[in-house]
Amino acid sequence: MSNTTSVGNCNIEFILSTKNKKIVIFNEYKYVFNQESNKKKYWRCEDNDYCAAYLHTTCEDIYVKHNNAQHNHLPDPDEILIIRLISKIRSRVVNEHLSASFIYEFEIARAKLTKSQLSIVPSFRTIKSALYKARSKTIPIVPKTFEFNVPTLYQLNTNSEQFLLADYHDKKFDRVLMYSSNRQLDILFNSSIIFCDGTFSTAPPQFQQIYTLHGIFEEECM
Ligand SMILES: [Zn+2]
């Protein structure tokens, strides 16, 4: 996600690209990392090989100075908008549990992009592997056996309510995990008809079976 600060009349914003590379937006121009030395980072304007604009920051990304060189090209507001949009999508993919494709489609639709912006926005297919890679760095390694502790985050639903109801070891079943929100329990307990379904084919490799209970709510089976 981005980090914006104001320096005088200037805005400096640090953004992580989809590929996890830090870039700087300074007064709506894009700068990329050039080199680091003597406790400073040097960032150069990326738009043009012959543009002399550059800026310095500390190694902790605190603005130091700009060389005040005039850019020899105009800023590209569409490109900057897309960079911020993709950064937002990346941040949501890393911090939320919704599918990356859903977040991508939702944010692209919400941005109401113009035709010219749509022509330069990367497709989901183009960036999906980078998004999945960014997400994979934030999630635990998938356990190889049923002997593992469920991290607190995975005991809650997306509303941060308790979702893991029971987690116990059993001589017959080895390990049983039961999941439901209170709302789902309400629906189940008030349903006049209950359906039960067990499946083996989609169970995680550490487990043998997924067993689900379904109740009727407003004429729909849930
Ligand atoms: Zn420039």
User: Can you give the residue ranges of every domain in the chain?
Assistant: 3-66, 77-136, 152-221
Place of tokens 């079976």: 209
Q: How far is the CA of 80 from the centre of ligand 1 (A)?
A: 13
Q: How far is the CA of 3 from the centre of ligand 1 (A)?
A: 21
Question: Tens digit of pLDDT for each residue in 106-127?
Answer: 999 999 999 999 999 999 999 9
Question: Tens digit of pLDDT for each residue in 29-73?
Answer: 999 999 998 789 999 998 767 899 999 999 888 888 988 899 999
Q: How far is the CA of 69 from the centre of ligand 1 (A)?
A: 9
Q: How far is the CA of 31 from the centre of ligand 1 (A)?
A: 8
Q: How far is the CA of 65 from the centre of ligand 1 (A)?
A: 15
CB atoms within 10 A of CB 174: 13
Q: How far is the CA of 123 from the centre of ligand 1 (A)?
A: 27
Question: Tens digit of pLDDT for each residue in 123-180?
Answer: 999 999 999 998 988 888 888 888 889 988 889 988 889 999 999 888 888 899 999 9
Query: 150 φ, ψ to 5°?
Result: -80, 115
Task: Record the pTM.
Answer: 0.69
Is residue 8 over pLDDT 70? Answer: no
* CB-based burial label for 84 (10 Å; 0-12, 13-18, 19+): middle
Q: Where are the alpha helices (DSSP H) in 20-156?
A: 77-95, 100-111, 115-120, 124-136
Q: How far is the CA of 87 from the centre of ligand 1 (A)?
A: 21
Residues in the 5 Å CB sphere of ion ligand 1: 45, 47, 51, 53, 71
Q: How far is the CA of 175 from the centre of ligand 1 (A)?
A: 60
Q: How far is the CA of 198 from the centre of ligand 1 (A)?
A: 61
In this prediction, residue 16 carries a pLDDT of: 85
Q: How far is the CA of 66 from the centre of ligand 1 (A)?
A: 12
Q: At 222, is the pLDDT very low, low, confident or very high (cuts 50, 70, 90)?
A: confident
In this prediction, residue 44 carries a pLDDT of: 93
Q: How far is the CA of 134 from the centre of ligand 1 (A)?
A: 29
Dihedral sign (CA 196, 199, 202, 205): positive
Residues 4-7: contacts with CB within 8 Å, 24+ apart?
A: 5/63, 7/63
